[in-house]
């Protein structure tokens, strides 16, 4: 995968889509890809759904990798990361986890001093959790949420691979 140019939000979303395609298709998960980019257009971390064990989401994988890289618990990352980060994720970060894991929105909010913008490809369909409030929670905390248009159909095709179509 080639690294997109600065401010090529469509390019970064396509990059995240390629990551999402690595996620195993399952009827109980969306296949999501995420990438954290610094202010100089460098990739800080990438992730995709179920990249690690224990039902992890794409954003969670990014933060787990960064915590390992900086040798801190994930809830202390804000002390190590630079400001001005962008998070590209193919799907709106979840506001509730049926598994009991910390929702991705809460993970992003812990990094609100570092992450200035979250770029999303699609809002979360109501398949598993109705009325995801992720976008609103991020905006209320001062994090800009930007929809990257034009890739919705392709993102949803990737995300729902493995789902039973009814």
Which residues are marked as active site? 59
Q: Helix, strand or coil for residue 118?
A: strand
- Residue whose token pair is 């971390």: 45
> What whole-number distance in Å separates Cα of residue 143 and Cα of residue 145?
6
The DSSP secondary structure of 24-79, one letter per residue, reads PP-TTS---EEEEE-TTS-EEEEEETTSSTTT--HHHHHHHHHHHHHTS-GGGGGG
> What whole-number distance in Å separates Cα of residue 103 and Cα of residue 65?
17
Residue 150's nearest CA partner among 119, 122, 117, 118 is 122
């Amino acid at each position: 995968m080639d690294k997109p140019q600065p401010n090529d939000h469509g390019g970064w979303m396509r990059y995240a889509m390629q990551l999402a395609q690595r996620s195993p298709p399952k009827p109980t998960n969306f296949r999501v890809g995420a990438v954290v980019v610094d202010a100089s257009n460098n990739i800080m971390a990438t992730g995709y759904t179920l990249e690690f064990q224990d039902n992890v989401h794409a954003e969670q994988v990014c933060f787990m990798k960064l915590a390992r890289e900086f040798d801190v618990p994930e809830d202390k990352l804000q002390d190590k990361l630079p400001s001005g980060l962008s998070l590209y994720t193919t799907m709106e970060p979840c506001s509730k986890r049926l598994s009991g894991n910390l929702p991705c929105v809460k993970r992003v909010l812990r990094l609100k001093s570092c992450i200035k913008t979250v770029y999303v490809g699609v809002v979360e369909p109501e398949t598993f959790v109705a009325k995801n409030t992720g976008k609103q929670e991020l905006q209320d905390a001062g994090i800009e949420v930007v929809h990257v248009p034009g890739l919705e159909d392709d993102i949803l095709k990737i995300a729902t691979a493995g789902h039973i179509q009814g």
